[in-house]
Amino acid sequence: MSPFWKHLVIAAVIFIAVSLAARLVDWWLARRPLPPEATTRYRVLRRTITTVFLVVGLFSALLAIPEVRAVAGGLLASSALLGIIVGFASQRTLGNVVAGLLIAFAQPVRIGDRVEYNGVDGVIEEIGLSYTFIRTLDRRRLVVPNEKLASDPIVNASIRSRETFAEVSVPLPLSTDVGAALDALRQDVADERDSDVYLDSLDGTATVIVRAAAPDELSAERLERDLRLRAHRRLRELGVWA
């Protein structure tokens, strides 16, 4: 085997070893039980550490090849490369990474928070190194560069508490005895925390709102599904829906 191929194999072994080390560190961080307020920090920290490991592994592997090491050394010593690095540092890409770290540690938003951004309501689903993903109410994803998220106004309904409300709309025919329906639905959710049932509008149908408190967004989604089934069952018992 020629010296070049030997060096190439050594470089590959170094990069694979560093990649495995990065995965091991990521696995160790991921398996730690964390309180909700620390989840966001650790997700971004894991990505940062993994990226650093991979970059270090790549450069270590390249420097193990003499032919590449000579070229790399010349480039690093040149002022031209320094200018490229400085120019790159001023670009939005690095700005998004820095903004992602600031969001992770300052935590104006956290994973799972209910937010309103640029007129769109949703839940923070993921905070990456460059972008933040907001899951909208219709299950689409709003992808926001971290730099914009860190500088633009954002309404956070969960900054102090993750508690939210499960809320469902129940349309009733205008001929329905709305008072009897409200009483029946109130009895049905009486055991739920901070529950409320009220007539919201009379526009073609009598729209009734059924709501109850939930500890977080996921629990609220589950409770909403349950409230719909319970409302349907109770109203069928009353003869509202045959």
Name the pTM for this structure: 0.48
Q: What is the H or E stretch that residue 206 is in?
A: strand 206-214
Given a cut of 60, whether residue 194 has pLDDT beyond it is yes
Looking at per-residue pLDDT, the higher value among 54 and 200 belongs to 200
Local confidence band at 43 (pLDDT 50, 70, 90 cut-offs): low
Average pLDDT of the chain, as a whole number: 78
> What's the Cα-to-Cα distance from 174 to each of 27, 88, 177, 187, 233, rounded to whole Å?
58, 64, 8, 22, 19
pLDDT at 212: 93
Local confidence band at 38 (pLDDT 50, 70, 90 cut-offs): low
Given a cut of 50, whether residue 59 has pLDDT beyond it is yes
Looking at per-residue pLDDT, the higher value among 145 and 58 belongs to 145
What percentage of the chain carries pLDDT values higher than 90?
Answer: 19
Backbone angles phi, psi at 138, to 5 degrees: -95, 20
Given a cut of 80, whether residue 169 has pLDDT beyond it is yes
Looking at per-residue pLDDT, the higher value among 89 and 155 belongs to 155
Torsion angle defined by CA atoms of residues 196, 199, 201 and 202, in that order, rounded to the nearest 10 degrees: 160
Local confidence band at 79 (pLDDT 50, 70, 90 cut-offs): very low
pLDDT at 157: 77
Given a cut of 70, whether residue 75 has pLDDT beyond it is no
Tokens at residue 165, please? 């409300």
Looking at per-residue pLDDT, the higher value among 29 and 146 belongs to 146
Lowest-confidence pick of 70-84, 106-120, 150-164: 70-84
pLDDT at 208: 93
Walk me through the domains of the chain, giving residue ranges and CATH numbers: 3-90 (no CATH), 108-156 (2.30.30.60), 164-237 (3.30.70.100)
pLDDT at 5: 64
Range from 24-28, 71-75, 144-148 that averages highest in pLDDT: 144-148
H and E: helices and strands count for the chain: 8, 8
CA 136 to CA 29: how far, in whole Å?
29
* Alpha helices in 31-65, H assignment, sequence order: 36-63
| 3-class secondary structure, 163 | coil
Local confidence band at 70 (pLDDT 50, 70, 90 cut-offs): low
Lowest-confidence pick of 63-67, 136-140, 204-208: 63-67
Looking at per-residue pLDDT, the higher value among 229 and 110 belongs to 229
